[in-house]
Amino acid sequence: MVFIFVVVLLSGCQQAETTAEDGESKLQVAVTIYPLAEFARGIVGDRAAVTQIIPPGSEPHHWEPAPSDMKTIYETDVFIYHGAGMELWVEKILPELKGQKVKVIKATEGLPLLTFAEEEQLGVTNFLRANRSEGLQDGEHEGEFDPHVWLDPVLAKDIVSFMAEEIAAVDSENADYYLHNAQLLFDKLDQLDKEYTTAVSQFQNRDIVVSHAAFGYLAYRYGLCQIPVLGITPEQEPDAATLARVIDFSRQQNVKYIFYEATSSPRIAETIAQEIGVETMVLNPIGALTQEDIKNGYDYFDLMHQNLENLKKVLAE
């Protein structure tokens, strides 16, 4: 009902505008999740205003918009969402957005997405369960796409390229500026890929025990295998059988660290670590910034480098 109410309320609204210092209006860009907001700001620079809809510290998988968030979306010029099942609420509003003067960009359009079942077949994800149906929580499906594409710097370049081209098509006067800025992001992502590629060539181990199955694309790109404790999303509790299998696996494989995520509780990771006498460490899916990240001025590239340093500590020993 909230979605219907907001649509009716805003159907006659005009596009919101921000006045630049020179008196010209800036393009308004609304973006759902943090990685896309980071890329969008890098692309548009000072020629457009970017608003991140999902606030810092929020877990994006099951976040739902308030009426004020819907108002922002309906009054923007460009709305960028991730897709691949990350923001299920967006699917509810897309039909109504088609009737608004809003350019809608699905950032993962055309990308070679993987399902969780495909990741298992490729050997980059290992759900520790006795049979195919066990270990998935209510509402989870092996056939669901893994949305965490931004953790692969190569695919992140494809996202930036598509976003830049689409934004440039909306604001042709600044097209060259946007495409130039996109090239600067390409250079940074290429460097990031080179650093990961160099580091993994020195790894002695390939298995990483993680909170939830967020690192499939990273694992696929660099020849790793993630063993998720919590399944597809980070809110679930593992059953006793799954927990026991993870503990047994960690002992047998001489796992030294159990990874957890900064935006989720470390309790399960700490339980496993205490059981087998090892330590915990952060591996960040970078779906959202924490308040601590913001305080420290960290961005996507900082957090990807932190992830790499932690992987080196765990896998190069």
The domain locations on the chain are: 2-108+148-188, 116-146+202-315
Are 2-108+148-188 and 116-146+202-315 equal in CATH topology? Answer: yes
Model confidence pLDDT, tens digit, residues 57-109 = 888 888 899 999 999 999 999 999 999 999 999 999 998 888 788 999 999 99
Compute the residue count for the chain: 317
3-state helix/strand/coil string of 241-252? HHHHHHHHHHHH
Reported confidence tier of residue 51, pLDDT bands at 50, 70, 90: very high
Model confidence pLDDT, tens digit, residues 150-171 = 999 999 999 999 999 999 999 9
Is-contact 60 32, C-beta < 8 A?
Answer: yes
Mean pLDDT to the nearest integer, 199-210: 96
CB atoms within 10 A of CB 313: 12
Cα–Cα distance for residue pair 256/251, rounded to 1 Å? 9
Which of 37, 143, 14, 7 has the alpha carbon at shortest distance from 84? Answer: 143
Cα–Cα distance for residue pair 301/34, rounded to 1 Å? 12
* Contacts of range 167-172, beta carbons closer than 8 Å, 24 or more positions apart: 167/27, 167/29, 167/40, 167/43, 167/44, 167/48, 167/78, 167/105, 170/27, 170/77, 170/78, 170/103, 171/27, 171/47, 171/48
pLDDT beyond 50 at 11 = no
| Phi, psi angles (nearest 5°) of residue 96 | -75, -35
Say which CATH superfamily domain 2-108+148-188 falls into.
Nitrogenase molybdenum iron protein domain (3.40.50.1980)
Q: Please enumerate in sequence order all residues whose Cβ is within 8 A of that of 308, keeping only pairs 6 or more positions apart, or say none.
A: 195, 196, 199
Cα–Cα distance for residue pair 23/44, rounded to 1 Å? 18
How is domain 116-146+202-315 classified at the CATH fold level? Answer: Rossmann fold (3.40.50)
C-alpha 294: how far from chain center = 17
